Chain A
Amino acid sequence: MNSNGASSSATDGVRDSNPPKRNSKRPKYSKFTQQELPACKPILTPAIVITTFALIGIIFIPIGLASLSASERVVEIVDRYDLDCIPEQLRNDQLAFIQSSQTNKTCTRSVIVPRYMKSPVFIYYELDNFYQNHRRYVKSRSDKQLRSKASEQDTSTCAPESISSDGSPIVPCGLIAWSLFNDTYSFSFNNEVLMVNKKNIAWGSDKSHKFGRDVYPKNFQSGQLIGGATLNASIPLSEQEDLIVWMRTAALPTFRKLYGRIEEDLQPNQKITVVIENNYNTYSFGGKKKLVLSTTSWIGGKNDFLGVAYLTVGGLCLFLALVFILLYLFKPRTMGDPSYLSWNRNAAGYAD
């Protein structure tokens, strides 16, 4: 406080000229102890409120438009095949169909390209009602084992898929690896096979650090129950990209995972034949399986959510700015009108 500062300096003057011993307990002046630190004091005036809303609107709407248009440019084909790929006669007993090793699980479907799809066209599989984030599931893995051969025995966290029946460790152990997705897709157009590139579908950091070059599958899927895909025991885990993708567990029970890429442009109205090996059991828990073909833009896959959210919030803010302006016009409150002080208000109230 200025006045205090001034007067305290005055006392200091007195002190200096003839320092009385008694003043030794006098607290020293500092902005901190006197709580006089310089501060900016923002007040939420209508002007600031309206400006803020307008500003948010002005910034958000272009961003929203940009991301929405980016999302619009993405061409996405979704084909649910879990039901259709079961022969009519077996639809009543889907479980028996999928669990039997005798049945023919090959299924041929065709999709039509709605718009021009520029390569690369990404192939995803989408699962539904699959709790990759279940606590029992998430923790059933051994990162050490995946990373280095030396930790092969380190399967303590992998229950119940840690060791094979003869007691030797399963590599890779755990429920996640065990339940590896094993449907396969092959694409052709006019009987011409479209090559699917399955390289580089996992995040680089996973490949290079989490999965060892010297770790080879061992005893995998050797038990009575087969959860999913088997692995080629001669390829190190760092090259098993399907596994790497699968092991990056999804956040939600509905998720997509990258299967591969078609590195050819697809023309509009092309009819693409997909041959699906429908091996994976989602029938027991009623999950859906979908095949997704999608291009990407800078924003990634088709994702209207961000754009819509930005547009909504931007629009809402502009609207609010308008509402506040109207409020300001029709129900104005003078800033700093003392009559709004509660003690003045009461007195006025009683005077009425």
Chain B
Amino acid sequence: MSGIWERARASRTLRGRDSFGSRDITSNGDRSSRTVRLGRVQPQAPSNRTIYCNDREANLPVRYKGNSISTTKYNVLTFLPKGLFEQFRRVANLYFLMISILSTTPISPVHPITNVVPLSLVLLVSLIKEAFEDWKRFQNDKSINNAPVDVLQDQKWETIPWKKLQVGDLVRVKQDGFFPADLLFLASSNPDGVCYIETANLDGETNLKIRKALERTWDYFLPEKAAEFKGEIQCEQPNNSLYTFTGNLIIENQTLPLSPNQILLRGCSLRNTEYIVGTVLFTGHETKVMMNSMNVPSKRSTLERKLDKLILALFGCLFFMCLIGAIGSGVFINRKYYYLGLSGDVEDQFNPNNRFVVTILTMFTLITLYSTIIPISLYVSIEMIKFIQCTQFINKDLNMYHIESGTPALARTSNLNEELGQVEYIFSDKTGTLTRNMMEFFKCSIGGEIYGNGVTEIERGNLERKGLKLDGANGSATAIREKGFNFDDARLMRGAWRNETNPEFCKEFFRCLAICHTVLPEGEESLEKIVYQAASPDEAALVTAAKNFGFFFYRRTPTTVIVRESHVDKMGKIQDVAYEILNVLEFNSTRKRQSVVCRYPNGRLVLYCKGADTVIYERLAYGNEDIKRITREHLEQFGSAGLRTLCLAYRELSSELYEKWNEKFILAKSSLREREKKLDEVAELIEKELVLIGCTAIEDKLQEGVPSCIETLSRAGIKIWVLTGDKMETAINIAYACNLINNDMKQFFISSDTDAVREVEDKGDPVEISRFMRDLVKKDLERCLEEAQHFFHTVTGPKLALVIDGKCLMYALDPNLRVNLLKLSLNCASVVCCRVSPLQKAQVTSLVKKGARKITLSIGDGANDVSMIQAAHVGVGISGLEGMQAVMASDFAIAQFRFLTDLLLVHGRWSYLRLCKVITYFFYKNLTFTLTQFWFTFQTGFSGQRFYDDWFQSLYNVIFTALPVIIVGLFDKDVSASLSKQNPELYKEGIRNMFFKWRVVAVWAFFSFYQSLVFYYFTAAASHNGQNSSGKTFGLWDVSTMAFTCVVVTVNLRLLMACNSITKWHSLSISGSILAWFLFIFIYSAVMTPYDRQENVYFVIYVLMSTFYFYLTLLHIPVVALLGDFIYLGLQRWFAPYDYQIIQEIHRNDLEDNRSSALLEIGNHLTQNEARSYAIAQLPRETSKHTGFAFDSPGYESFFASQQGVFVPQKPWDVARRASMRQQPRTHRS
């Protein structure tokens, strides 16, 4: 079942622009039709949907959609017309269609088959591919639609297929089953009416989520009882917002508010619950998951766009050739050639009385004759090559397979492979991409005292840069290390905190960690085996830390949190304490904090709060200024070490105060409109007068192999920009740790974090602020640019680095300043943009893409990177850890940042080389072939007589020269994968586009010109007189067959000359193609068919082969034709060798060039200690999302993005996005 879903998702993503999300979806409640716009959360429909539960007749009048889904593009009837229509949207196909039509007229010198055969073969291949893909989708749909589900009918559970399900039905879903539609959760086999669901198919998160049914419905569980359930549900219209739901359930005149908590979405699966009962709300295409399927904007590679220009040039060439021929025909035609029978009534094309008409008609004649100059099979060949490159090479590359998460690379679009070989700028997200998003509790500050002796990798890197060397052995014997906890300080462990100066603070600190969270414990309730499911890895790390400090949170009920506390009252004592959780004020990006109101067993009421320093400090009670000051210092210290900080605070509550507040809270909670906003406002009332306990510091670990990968990429001439929502210090530190910036670089900072800015900001006049900022940014830019000018033209000088923050960037992206920004940043080796919103990420990307016309790649893992990924030429998503949004928007998905080396330097480079070779070769072979025809035209009185037999011409492209070029496109390899990575500089050839310049094309054109002359004139010149000892002479078809044989042989051999590596497939396909020609001509000229054929070539090949002329010419012409290329290649290699050729030469004596590659692997996981990898793989999977609990929260950016129409999915904790930017956090003040 899960496999089916995987495929469902895959097929949706494969379909790209035709995703059904773009269809009109009729909403049924009001029967009006509206279009679901993609990439946006839909506006709520004004009207409601009313569902009568368990009553099919009552629902009948509304005609809800059925539950069957169809993701296919075609059906049996529409396949041919629609499929053909799609095909003829390609210019080349349309052109050939027109040529084919033209060739049915008498104007044409060629039989229609000449053009119809290749066209129909090309169409056939494309249509078969389409049909195959659609068939897979159909099968997929079918298996989903026919999946069984239990439905209540006549007080019994009846098993019916999913597609028969209707709105209002009561269904039963068993453990590990998928929900067949969007359900309202009524009852569960669990006693407290909860169930656990996995939403991996929706957002990729594998942590379990709790859903809780309304207490009123818990009883409708057994079929007899459930049959009595008659409720009416009023809810919103179907929409694509996964995390919101508003509605009411009306039972027996009682109105109960519904929340997302009672909704089970299609695509999720039931876990840890025997079974649940629910009623169907939305079905089929109206389910949220189906309405959410995303659209990837289709991208075309730069190379293909350049190819279009080449095709245009060919069209120009074609026109020119036709023009010459046509004028020639007008001049030539004359009654004096009486044997042409021109004296009587002559058709227009040959009528000497009207030479103009002759010219025009001959023009058309020649267009059909020379149509082979446009390589019709080029596009389909390229498509096949790219498709195989994607599915077989990229997706199956073991070097890009991540063992720990079991994720192979995934090419989601197959038309950008070669773009990977030309990337010059990489825009990278930080969190989750460069860093691991694996949070480890590392240090803390409690009551003004720092605990934790660890040294972060960043600090270590800093020290090493300063020349200090740290011992590898990290940590003392007391250090405890587990997932999420990497803390080393004996002062806090095993109850030792009781002896510290402020044990009360410590106690509150630990309790806050153990109580204030939304973590779910899973598995056995023991210290070792418990597994925490958390919405963010930070939370899990914090709860794990509490566990290690002796406050073991092990069970959560809907109302309580149970903590096993050690050493609290006295050393060694262990007791289970149940804290009653009264309210949870959840985290969201505007609040930047999370609070829990809990009641101790002794009745003490406490609010625990944790959150960003900025929001906590604003809400602190007066007093304890020392601790506040010291803690702030500690915060800065942690921040600059690259750690993520979080402030903890608490507040004692009196019961009167709480009761009063709670009434408001309940009111807000049951409101139907703007519930979240009201909840926030209520929370504001109680989260004040807090007492600061301290702060935590969590290490965000770098991804494996990131620094070496970045170094390799920069050697390859790729510039890496980090675009992050983090604050400047963190971003710079990460940049240091990643080798992006070092102290040898000339660094430029453009920051809004200055006193002057703050001063202006405090005045609060937006006009003044923007004016001031603009001036500041302008001045800064000019200053930097002036300084940088010195270094622009020296190579030995220091490299440049630019750090700019989001606020400044906003002004720097202004059209007036953009030029300076671009000038400066393009000359920098690395650029770090911090505090940027998703929209700015996209803007920076397009600035380079459009402004500098460089090829860009964006890589990111989160929803906030979606816009950037879509804006770049190539979007890469990090798969395996985070949610699916980035992957769904990306063109390629890899599990680790370091796999970029393989993706770019190996696959990208090869794809580029191969595609260039394929395109130029196609160009060459068609031009050569057509030119021979062109030369012949001159000697036929410009009549447009074809030189070749119809079938020769039609099969030339599709049989005799088709396969080898595809083989080359797949297998050609200049240097091995390991050498490509060892010599990243080779990649620069792609950036400079060395292999598809006009110069390269011109060289090919020159040689095809030369070769065509050789083919035509040599065969013709030698065929003048008697050809064997019987003195018989040749006719036209003998000569043309001879010439064609030479063309086929030479063109295939030329490909062999272009190969860098020759596998058996090369030899097989090339010799096969030549043999295919001979086989064809042997058969073709031996048979006589009564249909449609002048016996032109009857027996021609046998006649030819009875002469020495044939053998002498066949040996001679290919050698002469290829001599030019051979000299060129020899000289080129001698005097102007490409870099890859030198590398080839260096390693030419390597027996198997892979032998030596062990030491060349760059950050390759396969060379790692396998046992360790496996051990890590056995660890609970890193599943949760980066939320940025600290000030790094990128959440606020989603506001900008959605304002700009950039899709940012809602997170569960992000449902209440404010309508204003009032709460926009300030940058961290140091």
Chain A positions within 8 Å of B, measured between CB atoms, are 1-5, 7-8, 10-11, 14, 20, 22-30, 32-46, 49, 52, 56, 60, 63, 67, 120, 122, 124, 130-141, 143-144, 147, 157, 159-161, 175, 178-179, 200-203, 205-206, 209-210, 225, 227, 245, 248-258, 261, 281, 284-286, 292, 294, 296-303, 305-306, 309-310, 313, 316-317, 320, 324, 327, 333, 335-338, 340-343, 346-347, 350
Residue among A3, A56, A157, A253 facing the most chain B CB atoms (10 A cut-off): A3
Contact indicator B1130/A324 (Cβ below 8 Å):
yes
Inter-chain CA distance A342–B352, complex, in Å, is 62
Contact indicator A7/B1167 (Cβ below 8 Å):
yes
- The 8 A-B residue pairs with the shortest CB-CB distance in the complex, in nearest-first order: A336-B1145, A301-B1026, A301-B1025, A205-B1099, A27-B396, A248-B1035, A122-B1031, A39-B1061
Given the interface pairs A44-B1133, A131-B940, A343-B988, the reply to whether A138 lies near B945 with Cβ below 8 Å is yes
What are the interface flags for B840-878 relative to A under an 8 Å C-beta threshold, 1 for contact and 0 otherwise? 000000000000000000000000000000000000000
Contact indicator B978/A133 (Cβ below 8 Å):
no
Given the interface pairs A7-B1166, A37-B1063, A42-B1062, the reply to whether A300 lies near B397 with Cβ below 8 Å is no
Given the interface pairs A20-B1178, A41-B1144, the reply to whether A143 lies near B1094 with Cβ below 8 Å is yes
Name the segment of B183-191, B333-341, B637-645, B804-812 touching the other chain: B333-341
Which residues between 1117 and 1149 of chain B lie within 8 Å of chain A, taking CB atoms?
1119-1120, 1123, 1126-1127, 1129-1130, 1133-1135, 1137, 1139, 1141-1148
Chain B residues contacting A258 (CB-CB under 8 Å) are 1026, 1031-1033
Inter-chain CA distance A206–B1097, complex, in Å, is 11
Contact indicator B978/A3 (Cβ below 8 Å):
yes
Residue of B344, B365, B944, B1033 touching A257 (CB-CB under 8 A): B1033
Given the interface pairs A43-B1144, A135-B944, the reply to whether A305 lies near B1022 with Cβ below 8 Å is yes
List 6 interface pairs A-B (beta carbons < 8 Å), by A numbering.
A14-B1171, A60-B1119, A122-B1031, A179-B338, A203-B1032, A333-B1134
* B1097–chain A nearest beta-carbon distance, Å: 11
Chain A residues contacting B1033 (CB-CB under 8 Å) are 124, 245, 248, 250, 255-258
Residue of A131, A292, A342 touching B340 (CB-CB under 8 A): A131
Residue among A14, A306, A327, A341 facing the most chain B CB atoms (10 A cut-off): A341
Inter-chain CA distance A92–B26, complex, in Å, is 90
What are the interface flags for B1091-1120 relative to A under an 8 Å C-beta threshold, 1 for contact and 0 otherwise? 001110011001100011100110110011
Q: Say yes or no for B977: interface residue by CB 8 A criterion.
A: yes
Contact indicator A343/B985 (Cβ below 8 Å):
yes
Residue of A35, A138, A303 touching B1025 (CB-CB under 8 A): A303
Residue of A227, A284, A309 touching B1018 (CB-CB under 8 A): A309
User: Which residue of chain B has the shortest Cβ distance to A20 in the bound complex?
Assistant: B1177
Inter-chain CA distance A161–B345, complex, in Å, is 12
Contact indicator B971/A136 (Cβ below 8 Å):
no
* B1176–chain A nearest beta-carbon distance, Å: 11
Chain B positions within 8 Å of A, measured between CB atoms, are 109, 334, 336-346, 350, 365, 392-393, 395-399, 401, 403, 405-408, 795-796, 910, 936, 939-941, 943-945, 971, 973, 976-978, 983, 985, 988, 1018, 1020-1036, 1038-1040, 1059-1066, 1088, 1090, 1093-1095, 1098-1099, 1102-1103, 1107-1109, 1112-1113, 1115-1116, 1119-1120, 1123, 1126-1127, 1129-1130, 1133-1135, 1137, 1139, 1141-1148, 1152, 1154-1155, 1157-1158, 1161, 1164, 1166-1167, 1170-1171, 1174, 1177-1178, 1181
Contact indicator A52/B1126 (Cβ below 8 Å):
yes
* A96–chain B nearest beta-carbon distance, Å: 14
Contact indicator B943/A306 (Cβ below 8 Å):
no
Chain A residues contacting B1065 (CB-CB under 8 Å) are 37
Chain B residues contacting A306 (CB-CB under 8 Å) are 1022, 1109, 1112-1113, 1116
* B717–chain A nearest beta-carbon distance, Å: 9
Chain B residues contacting A143 (CB-CB under 8 Å) are 1093-1095
Contact indicator A134/B340 (Cβ below 8 Å):
yes
User: Which residue of chain A has the shortest Cβ distance to B339 in the bound complex?
Assistant: A179
User: Which residue of chain B has the shortest Cβ distance to A44 in the bound complex?
Assistant: B1133
Contact indicator A298/B1108 (Cβ below 8 Å):
yes
Chain A residues contacting B977 (CB-CB under 8 Å) are 1, 35
Residue of B405, B941, B1040, B1139 touching A134 (CB-CB under 8 A): B941
A-B contacts besides A26-B403, A333-B1137, 5 pairs, CB < 8 Å: A3-B1166, A27-B408, A34-B398, A254-B1024, A285-B337
Inter-chain CA distance A41–B1031, complex, in Å, is 47
* A340–chain B nearest beta-carbon distance, Å: 5
Inter-chain CA distance A330–B109, complex, in Å, is 55
User: Which residue of chain B has the shortest Cβ distance to A23 in the bound complex?
Assistant: B406
User: Which residue of chain B has the shortest Cβ distance to A50 in the bound complex?
Assistant: B1130
Inter-chain CA distance A248–B973, complex, in Å, is 49
Inter-chain CA distance A326–B1031, complex, in Å, is 46
Residue of B1025, B1095, B1123 touching A256 (CB-CB under 8 A): B1025
* B593–chain A nearest beta-carbon distance, Å: 36
Chain A residues contacting B334 (CB-CB under 8 Å) are 285
* A249–chain B nearest beta-carbon distance, Å: 5
Inter-chain CA distance A201–B942, complex, in Å, is 31
Inter-chain CA distance A295–B1107, complex, in Å, is 16
Count the A-B residue pairs with Cβ separation under 8 angstroms: how many?
341
Contact indicator B1108/A299 (Cβ below 8 Å):
yes
Chain B residues contacting A1 (CB-CB under 8 Å) are 976-978, 1154, 1157
Chain A residues contacting B1148 (CB-CB under 8 Å) are 41, 43, 45, 335-336
Residue of A2, A133, A313 touching B1152 (CB-CB under 8 A): A2
Inter-chain CA distance A305–B1017, complex, in Å, is 11
Given the interface pairs A120-B1031, A313-B1119, the reply to whether A341 lies near B1161 with Cβ below 8 Å is no
Residue among A39, A209, A337 facing the most chain B CB atoms (10 A cut-off): A39
Contact indicator B1025/A3 (Cβ below 8 Å):
no
Inter-chain CA distance A92–B1065, complex, in Å, is 69
User: Which residue of chain B has the shortest Cβ distance to A157 in the bound complex?
Assistant: B1094
* A226–chain B nearest beta-carbon distance, Å: 11
Contact indicator B346/A160 (Cβ below 8 Å):
yes
Residue of A133, A203, A313, A317 touching B1099 (CB-CB under 8 A): A203
User: Which residue of chain B has the shortest Cβ distance to A281 in the bound complex?
Assistant: B338
Residue of B343, B1026, B1036, B1109 touching A133 (CB-CB under 8 A): B1036
* A351–chain B nearest beta-carbon distance, Å: 9
Contact indicator A175/B403 (Cβ below 8 Å):
no
Inter-chain CA distance A25–B10, complex, in Å, is 14
Chain B residues contacting A134 (CB-CB under 8 Å) are 337, 340, 940-941, 943, 945
Inter-chain CA distance A36–B343, complex, in Å, is 69
* A80–chain B nearest beta-carbon distance, Å: 16
* B985–chain A nearest beta-carbon distance, Å: 5
User: Which residue of chain A has the shortest Cβ distance to B1090 in the bound complex?
Assistant: A144
Chain A residues contacting B1161 (CB-CB under 8 Å) are 3
Contact indicator B1139/A341 (Cβ below 8 Å):
yes
* B1042–chain A nearest beta-carbon distance, Å: 9
Residue of A27, A30, A140, A335 touching B1145 (CB-CB under 8 A): A335
* B278–chain A nearest beta-carbon distance, Å: 29
Chain B residues contacting A341 (CB-CB under 8 Å) are 983, 985, 1139, 1142-1143
User: Which residue of chain A has the shortest Cβ distance to B1146 in the bound complex?
Assistant: A336
Inter-chain CA distance A45–B1141, complex, in Å, is 10
Chain B residues contacting A340 (CB-CB under 8 Å) are 1137, 1142
Inter-chain CA distance A256–B405, complex, in Å, is 78
Given the interface pairs A35-B393, A131-B337, A284-B336, the reply to whether A4 lies near B403 with Cβ below 8 Å is no
Inter-chain CA distance A28–B398, complex, in Å, is 8
Inter-chain CA distance A133–B1036, complex, in Å, is 7
Chain B residues contacting A34 (CB-CB under 8 Å) are 396-398
Given the interface pairs A131-B940, A296-B1029, the reply to whether A305 lies near B1021 with Cβ below 8 Å is yes
Residue of A2, A200, A301 touching B1027 (CB-CB under 8 A): A301
Contact indicator B1031/A285 (Cβ below 8 Å):
no
* A95–chain B nearest beta-carbon distance, Å: 9
Residue of A11, A26, A225, A256 touching B1024 (CB-CB under 8 A): A256
Inter-chain CA distance A150–B1225, complex, in Å, is 97
Contact indicator B1063/A39 (Cβ below 8 Å):
yes
